[in-house]
Each structure stands twice: as structure tokens, then as C-alpha cells.
């Protein structure tokens, strides 16, 4: 393994993150904090919530997971898209470094960025309400697995996209609606039976429920099922990247 090449890409991407902290770190934390203030403090006090935790506590894992998904994907997709856009990606491809090392350099940097944002959101939420974490290592496992999976998916999107419009297609049109309908602000048992069943087709539900179980020990879905489905999504992303690198799709031309 070319450790120098991998480290160069990783630290270059991390430097890009810290070069504009207002955009990459502070902005998503402020946005999520506003969600927490509006839904957790203002609206949450009016919600009849029949669980062992308060509504303000309940929404924290969902907000963290939503942030992990969007920020890991956007970081990885923009990280590979802009070098393709300006043509510097061919300098990386001509270097003595494998596609695997290139992919890991970009995606692990995006994963790290998303985890930092998730940690900042958790710390911010502590100023409003105490938030117990019953299974901290499992929480880290779900957070890392999800962030890394969507970093890979974002990397694929950045290779596929040939315009800024396509680059924002998945986050804006698909991921944001799925996140809001994935149980961030409500429990699935608050829905009528038909909508509960329909919600099970939303993959984001399993990610949020898995992280929520690791926080409070309560969830509508078995955490093992959540971990299995996220792992399957991870394998699918690896399979797509293998196909892209094997065929040179949008890389060699």
C-alpha cells in the first residue's frame, strides 16, 4: 500500500475542510441546532410523547444521523468532482497509487469530516438537554458505518455527475426527503399502520433507528437488521466502484 499517497489525499481533503470551517463545520452545526431549538424546545413541549425519553432527547440521534448522511456524501462527491472538473484528477490517476488508495483517501476524509460534525451536534445538544448514550461503542459503529457508506456513495456520485445540477441531485431531491420522512422528528408508532409499513421501505429509517437504539436502548426496528442493511448498502457501493474502476466509466474519458 502506498501510505504516502493515501495520506497525501486524506490530509489534503482534511485541509480543505478546515480551510473554510464556517462552510464545512459551523454551518451544518448551526442548521441542525436551529432544528433542535424549533422542534425540540418549541414544538416538542407541545407533543404528547409516550416514551421513556423526552422529545428533545428523542430527536438528537435522528439529527446526528441526518447530518452524517448529508455531510459525508457532499464532502466525498465534491472532493472527487472538482478535480475532475478542473482536470487535476489525471495527475492523481497517473501517480503510483491504486484506485483503492485514492478511494479510501477521499472517502475516509469525508467520513472524518462527517463524524466531527456529528460530535459537534451532540455537544451542542447537551446545552439544551442531557443525552444518555447506553451503548457508546455501538453508537460509534453505526455512525462510522453510515458515514463511510454514504462517503462511498458520494464518491460514486461525484464520478457520475458531469454538472453541478447532477451533483446536487441526490442530496436535494432524494436524501433530504428520505431523511425528513425517516423518523427524525417522530416515532414510527405515531403513524397509522399503513404509513408505518410504507416507512419500512425507507432505508434512512433503519439508520436512524439503529443509532437511536444505541443511545436509549429503544427502537422500532431490531438494530441487527439496521446494521445488516447498512452493510449491504456498503457492499453495493463497493461493487459499483469496482465496476467503475474496472471499466473506466467517466474516468478514462
Q: What is the mean pLDDT of residues 102-125?
A: 93
Residue 166 forms part of a structural domain: yes
Mean of pLDDT values over 71-80: 91
Overall domain count for the chain: 1
Q: How many CB atoms lie within 10 A of CB 225?
A: 13
Cα separation, 135 vs 25, in Å, equals: 26
Q: What is the pLDDT of residue 253?
A: 58
Which pTM was predicted?
0.91
Within-domain flag for 134: yes
99 falls within a domain: yes
Q: How many residues does the chain have?
A: 253
Q: What is the pLDDT of residues 124-170, one digit of tens each?
A: 888 888 888 999 999 999 999 999 999 999 999 988 988 888 888 88
At 22-67, the pLDDT tens digits run 878 888 888 888 887 777 666 666 666 666 788 888 889 999 999 9
The contacts of residue 155 (CB under 8 Å, 6+ apart) are: 76, 77, 79, 80, 103, 106, 107, 110, 241
Look at the alpha carbons of 46, 29, 116, 162 in this order and tell me if their dihedral is positive or negative: positive
Separation of alpha carbons 180 and 188, rounded Å? 12
**Interatomic CA distance for residues 40 and 61, integer angstroms:** 12
**pLDDT the model gives residue 141:** 95
Q: DSSP character for 183? A: T
Q: What is the pLDDT of residues 168-178, one digit of tens each?
A: 888 888 888 88
Contact 31, 74 (CB under 8 A): no
Residue 252 within any structural domain of the chain: no
Tell me if 106 sits within 8 A of 155, measured CB to CB. yes
User: Is residue 173 included in any domain, yes or no?
Assistant: yes
129 part of a folded domain: yes
| Residues spanned by the domain of 240 | 3-247
**Residue 139, in any domain of the structure:** yes
In a domain, residue 41? The reply is: yes
Amino acid at each position: 500500500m502506498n501510505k504516502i499517497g493515501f495520506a497525501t489525499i486524506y490530509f489534503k481533503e482534511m485541509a480543505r475542510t478546515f480551510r473554510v470551517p464556517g462552510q464545512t463545520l459551523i454551518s451544518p452545526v448551526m442548521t441542525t441546532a436551529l432544528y433542535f431549538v424549533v422542534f425540540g424546545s418549541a414544538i416538542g413541549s407541545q407533543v404528547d410523547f409516550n416514551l421513556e425519553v423526552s422529545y428533545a432527547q428523542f430527536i438528537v440521534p435522528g439529527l446526528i444521523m441526518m447530518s452524517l448522511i448529508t455531510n459525508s456524501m457532499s464532502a466525498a462527491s465534491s472532493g472527487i468532482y472538482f478535480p475532475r472538473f478542473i482536470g487535476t484528477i489525471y495527475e492523481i490517476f497517473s501517480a503510483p497509487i491504486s484506485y483503492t488508495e485514492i478511494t479510501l483517501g477521499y472517502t475516509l476524509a469525508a467520513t472524518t469530516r462527517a463524524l466531527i460534525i456529528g460530535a459537534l451536534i451532540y455537544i451542542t445538544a447537551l446545552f439544551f438537554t442531557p443525552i444518555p448514550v447506553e451503548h457508546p461503542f455501538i453508537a460509534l459503529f453505526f455512525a462510522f458505518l453510515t458515514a463511510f457508506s454514504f462517503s462511498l456513495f458520494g464518491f460514486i456520485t461525484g464520478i457520475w455527475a458531469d454538472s453541478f445540477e447532477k451533483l446536487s441531485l441526490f442530496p436535494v431531491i432524494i436524501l433530504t426527503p428520505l431523511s425528513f420522512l425517516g423518523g427524525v422528528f417522530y416515532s414510527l408508532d405515531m403513524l397509522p399502520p399503513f404509513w408505518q409499513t410504507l416507512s419500512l421501505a425507507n432505508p434512512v429509517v433503519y439508520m436512524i433507528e439503529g443509532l437511536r437504539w444505541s443511545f436509549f436502548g429503544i427502537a422500532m426496528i431490531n438494530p441487527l437488521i439496521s446494521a445488516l442493511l447498512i452493510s449491504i448498502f456498503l457492499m453495493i457501493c463497493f461493487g459499483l466502484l469496482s465496476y467503475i474502476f474496472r471499466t473506466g466509466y467517466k474516468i478514462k474519458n
